[in-house]
Each structure stands twice: as C-alpha cells, then as structure tokens.
Amino acid sequence: MTTDLHQLAPLFAIDALEATELTQFELHLSTCVTCTAEVAELRQVVAEFSDATASEPPASLRATVLSAIARTPQLDADRKAGSELDRASLDRDVSHTPLASNVIEPVSGQVASLADARNKRRRRLSAPLAAAAAVLMLVAVFGLSRGPGDTDVISEVVSAPDAIVTELAPASAAGDAMLEIVWSADRDQVVVRGSGLSELTPEQEYQIWFLVDGGAIGSATFVVENGAVNTVLDVEDRDTGGWGITIEPVGGSDVPTSPVIFSASM
C-alpha cells in the first residue's frame, strides 16, 4: 500500500482516519503547511452543513451547560509549545483512542523512508540488533538517572551554548503532566524533564520523535520513576522542526504505534 501522507488530509479533516493512522498523520500535519491549510479549509466546508443539519437541543440542556461551565476553570492561553500543531488533534481525547498494539501497516512511502532513517541510526549506534540497542538504551537511562555524575551531565547539556528549551504540550488537555526537552545539537544530547507522567508496563517506554518535514523519525526512549523523569539521552545528529512523544514497546518503534501524548514544534 503506497499512499502519500498528504492524501490523508481530507480524511483527517472529517475524522475518517483509522486510529492507527491518526498518530502518523498528526505528526505529519505538525510540519506540513499544505495539509494544515487543506484541513482548515475542508473543516470550514463541512461546517457549512451545520446549518442544514441544525437541530434544536432540549431547552433543559442550556441550564445544564451554563451551570457546568460556571464550575469549570478556563485553561490558560499561554501554551507556547505545540502552538503550531493542529489544535483539534491536540485536544483529542486520548483515552478513547485504543493503544495500537497491533502492527501498523505502512501508510506511505515516507513511512518506509522513516524506517530507513531509523535503521541508519541503529547502524550508527553500532548495535545492529534492535533488541541489543534497546537493552543498551535501557541501561543508559537507568545508569544516567541513578549515577552520581548524572546531574553534572544534565547541567552541561542545559548550559550548552546552543541549548534549546522546548516545553511540550500534552495531547490530553485534562492531564497536568508536563514535559520539556532541552536539546543541544552540538552535543547530540537532550535532557528530558517531566512530571505527572503515566507509569508504563515493563514492556513499554516513552519514545522521543524528531518531527521533520514529511513525518516523524524515532529517537531515544526513556522511562519514568514515580511519574517523573530527569535524564540525559543521546540523540541523532540532525535537525528537527519539533518533538513528539509516544508510548512504544521497549526499544522504541520505527513508526509511532500509539497516539502522540506530547508534542511541540520549534
């Protein structure tokens, strides 16, 4: 199946994509201006029909809604991170989207190239076996987060002259989880700091994605302890337009297999 990711824009605009393709497309959308424009335009077109399908709700609903909002605090406007991402997708209720544990079919030519990119990375890590890489990565994460020298490395990355701090926006507006990535391209390292994150099963890890033109490229994985993380990870030597975080099987995936839980564009 070779479908251009761009071609999924109309289906996405009317919520007609399968859950498994949603994540992939949302990541694409965060860096594709063409699709962003197309989605916005099509949403406006279908909204035109709301007039023709309008239906008066029961009168009692008005009071119910007004008393509900009177009890509901408004969210702050200031959410720099993720502002470029499609707002609607950010607000998607992740809890309703089943974690796709099944294998994702490649939906585009780009997916294949993402997989290639990842494979290249694995070769660069000089750990030809994915499993071996995963184990090494896991060791690295635990080693770093426990080791006494760790705080030094963290502060080195954070104070690197080229360090870029990006606060990621949670996909589920309800959660009070936070996550930020400090990236030093010169050092090929990131510091990941977060709290309020969900605990994972032993088979899962959080994975960082580079958001680039045309999709997402999988990078390092990490785990949390009591919902918190503060660690240094080695990442690829490459540019990125933003960051995404998903939950993946240990060792990470070539393409995202679950909804994006945090993202930000830069």
Partner 1 sequence: MSSREQSPHATAPDRDRLTSLLRRIVDGDQQAFAMLYDELAPAVFGIVRNVLRDAAMSEEVTQEVFVDLWRQAKRYDPSKASPRTWACTIAHRKAVDRVRSEQARRRREDRDHQSSVMVAADTVTEVIERQETRGEVRAALASLSPAQREAVTLAYFEGRTYRDVATLLSIPEGTAKTRIRDGLQKLRTRMGREL
Helix (H), strand (E) at residue 180: strand 178-184
The listed partner (Zn ion, partner 1, none) that binds 187, CB under 5 to 8 Å by sort, is: none
Helix, strand, coil percentages, rounded to 5, for the chain: 35, 20, 40
Give me the least distance between CB of 92 and partner 1, in Å please. 7
Partner from partner 1, Zn ion, none binding residue 32, C-beta < 5-8 Å depending on class: Zn ion
Residue closer to partner 1 (CB basis): 52 or 148: 52
- Residue 264: enclosing H or E segment and its boundaries? strand 262-265
Helix or strand holding residue 210 (H, E): strand 204-212
| Closer residue to partner 1, CB minimum distance, 55 or 226 | 55
End-to-end CA distance of the chain: 32
Residue with tokens 């200031």: 78
DSSP 95: G
Pick the closer one to partner 1 by CB: 6 or 187.
6
Q: Which residues bind partner 1 (CB under 8 A)?
A: 3, 7, 10-11, 13-19, 40-58, 61-62, 64-66, 68-70, 72-77, 79, 83, 87-88, 91-93, 96-98, 173
Q: Which does 131 bind (CB under 5 to 8 A by kind): partner 1, Zn ion, none?
A: none
Residues facing 170 on adjacent strands: 262
Whichever of 76 and 162 has its CB closer to partner 1, that residue is: 76
**CA–CA dist 237, 86 (Å, integer):** 27
Number of residues this chain uses to bind Zn ion (CB under 5 A) = 4
Whose tokens are 């949403």? That residue is 43
Q: Residue 73 CB, nearest distance to partner 1 (Å)? A: 8
Separation CA 53–CA 195 (nearest Å)? 44
Interaction partner, residue 11 (Zn ion, partner 1, none; CB < 5-8 Å by kind): partner 1
**8-state DSSP, 247:** E
CB of 94 to partner 1, least distance (A): 10
203 binds, among Zn ion, partner 1, none (CB under 5 to 8 A by kind): none
The DSSP letter of residue 251 is T
Site for Zn ion in 1-40 (CB under 5 A): 6, 32, 34-35
Reference 206, options 171, 247, 167; nearest CA is 247
Tokens of 16: 């007609």
Binds 195, which of partner 1, Zn ion, none (CB < 5 to 8 A, cut-off by type)?
Answer: none
Q: Which is nearer to Zn ion, 108 or 221 (CB)?
A: 108
Task: Name the site residues for Zn ion (rule: CB under 5 A).
Answer: 6, 32, 34-35
